[in-house]
């Protein structure tokens, strides 16, 4: 027997929680399904902060311009304008709800990060902004009696009836058996897909399920070739690829090679403050040049007390691995971090599949273009999560979920909500080696062939979702014969006007394009 609710939200990061709150405020039931515990998401791991126009010397026009420049000609202007203008209101609302951003003398403390022209980044507890977002939003959601959080519920596929998304198939966290839940609309806030890669800053839950589920259900996927690799992940044997925040360079950190030489000025006049894609490629090139597996982040010129206060979580984590950020050079190398592409949506979170909405990293709203500006991701989740919730409610007031018909899953079928170890290892290595920071035709063609071979072997649902998304990334990267933002082709090293379009992939159809909203 299927479960029923008014609205289904998948994911409990900033986008999912904000969407759920927007719906609950309308007086409707909202069931939030999340793969792990409610607080486990990419949001929780966001160290850098949230970019927002609140400082006296800042304005929305400057924030918009910085975002457009970072996006390398692929941002949709209307989406960027929505982000920067509405972001201020939603962050102020968060503060009213009890979010504790860092202050100095009672005033909000703003910091600067790469490619921002103003100090507009708000932080919480130094380097734990995402965790504070989740804490305050979970507290706010907990005050809404119509929000039902269901942790440890792994979603497998969307349910489509008569061309409309009407629900979700998931693994019941208690019975570990397949179940269905239906509602007036579904909002996917499932986050990114960093786990497609061998080296990533993302948590284990970031496997891109929402993107592949949406594609297999018939929704459009856009710009999935654009993957942002964070330049500075801690690179130690037997240690996780812990993120060393962009803000460390924003505060004066220097990148050095194995000889102790500062190298970034040789690659870009903005040096350490260049956009992430440039810094990541520069580190890779410098490592190849010096025959090493790491570069080094040097924070030792900064005051030790300041560093401990500004980056408490990073300080403690590095210390646990025998490194003192106030004294030691920190070994770093790039790791997959953020997907600019995803489920194609309009400015209200509507996908091309009726009944399916999406917000946050799972989407391609056109905000990030080819390269996300630092600290715009939390803001995007906040703004578009709220808008998706509002639109889902307004669009479906006359929808009767009880009238939907669909074929139920076999309750006796074995659960397959986990990507098999063999498939995971094979995909992650192929993606890192052939669809990584530096790409070329031969490597991408071999990756596509590899993924086709895996898909032909017969897979469980979770493994199929994982490999499907990997193939979508490789296919779009192979098609885009240029270099732009987070996508770099060594055989087509310059951007081309002909490719200043969004790539669109839809099941059963050849790759098409959409023009950029300028």
CB under 8 Å to 150, separation ≥6 — which residues?
Answer: 31, 32, 33, 34, 173
The pair of structure tokens assigned to 469 is 């998304």
Of 169, 184, 241, 276, the catalytic one is 276
276 catalytic, yes or no?
yes
For 249, the 3-state DSSP assignment is helix
C-alpha dihedral sign at 13, 14, 15, 18? positive
Beta strand 110-111 with 103-104: parallel, antiparallel or unpaired?
Answer: unpaired
* Half-sphere exposure at residue 89, Cβ-oriented, CA atoms within 13 angstroms: 8
Residue whose C-alpha is closest to residue 375's, from 234, 245, 199: 245
Residue whose C-alpha is closest to residue 346's, from 197, 491, 502: 502
Q: How far apart are CA 435 and CA 450, in angstroms?
A: 12
What DSSP string describes 109-130? PEE--TT-SS--EE-STTT-HH
Q: At what angle do helices 461-479 and 441-455 cross, to 10 degrees?
A: 160
Bridge partner list, 347? none
Give catalytic residue positions: 276
């Amino acid at each position: 027997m299927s479960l029923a609710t008014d609205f289904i939200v998948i994911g409990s990061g900033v986008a999912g929680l904000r969407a759920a709150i927007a719906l609950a405020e309308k007086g409707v039931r909202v069931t939030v399904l999340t793969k792990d515990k409610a607080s486990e998401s990419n949001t929780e791991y966001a160290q850098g902060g949230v970019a927002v126009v609140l400082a006296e010397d800042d304005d929305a026009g400057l924030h918009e311009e910085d975002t457009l420049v970072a996006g390398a000609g692929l941002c949709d202007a209307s989406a960027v304008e929505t982000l920067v203008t509405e972001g201020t209101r939603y962050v102020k609302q968060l503060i009213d709800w009890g979010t504790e951003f860092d202050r100095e003398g009672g005033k909000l403390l703003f910091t600067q990060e790469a490619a921002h022209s103003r100090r507009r980044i708000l932080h919480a507890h130094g380097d734990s902004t995402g965790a504070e977002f989740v804490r305050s939003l979970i507290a706010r959601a907990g005050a809404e009696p119509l929000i039902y959080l269901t942790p440890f519920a792994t979603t497998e596929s969307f349910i489509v009836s008569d061309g409309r998304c009407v629900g979700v198939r998931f693994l019941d966290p208690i019975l570990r058996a397949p179940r269905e839940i239906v509602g007036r609309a579904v909002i996917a806030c499932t986050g990114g897909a960093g786990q497609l890669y061998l080296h990533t800053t993302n948590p284990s839950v970031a496997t891109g399920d929402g993107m592949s589920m949406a594609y297999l259900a018939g929704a459009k996927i856009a710009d999935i070739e654009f993957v942002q690799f964070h330049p500075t992940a801690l690179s130690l044997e037997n240690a996780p690829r812990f993120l060393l925040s962009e803000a460390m360079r924003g505060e004066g950190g220097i990148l050095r090679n194995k000889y102790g030489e500062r190298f970034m000025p040789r690659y870009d006049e903005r040096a350490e403050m260049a956009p992430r894609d440039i810094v990541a490629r520069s580190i890779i090139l410098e490592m190849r040049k010096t025959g090493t597996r790491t570069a080094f982040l040097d924070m030792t010129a900064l005051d030790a007390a300041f560093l401990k206060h500004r980056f408490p979580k990073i300080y403690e984590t590095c210390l646990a691995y025998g490194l003192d950020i106030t004294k030691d050079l920190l070994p770093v190398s790039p790791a997959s971090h953020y997907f600019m592409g995803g489920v194609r949506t309009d400015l209200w979170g509507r996908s091309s599949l009726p009944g399916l909405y999406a917000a946050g990293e799972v989407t391609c709203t056109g905000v990030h273009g080819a390269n996300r500006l630092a600290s715009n991701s939390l803001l995007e989740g906040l703004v578009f999560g709220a808008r998706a919730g509002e639109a889902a409610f307004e669009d479906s007031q006359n929808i009767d979920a009880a009238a939907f018909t669909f074929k139920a899953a076999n309750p006796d079928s074995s659960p397959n909500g986990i990507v098999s170890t063999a498939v995971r290892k094979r995909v992650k290595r192929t993606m890192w080696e052939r669809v990584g920071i530096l790409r070329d035709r031969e490597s991408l063609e071999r990756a596509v062939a590899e993924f086709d071979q895996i898909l032909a072997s017969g897979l469980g649902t979770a493994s199929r979702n994982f490999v499907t998304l990997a193939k979508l990334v490789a296919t779009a990267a192979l098609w885009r014969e240029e270099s732009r933002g987070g996508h770099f082709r060594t055989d087509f090293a310059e951007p081309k006007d002909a490719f200043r379009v969004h790539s669109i992939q839809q099941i059963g159809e050849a790759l098409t394009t959409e023009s950029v909203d300028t």
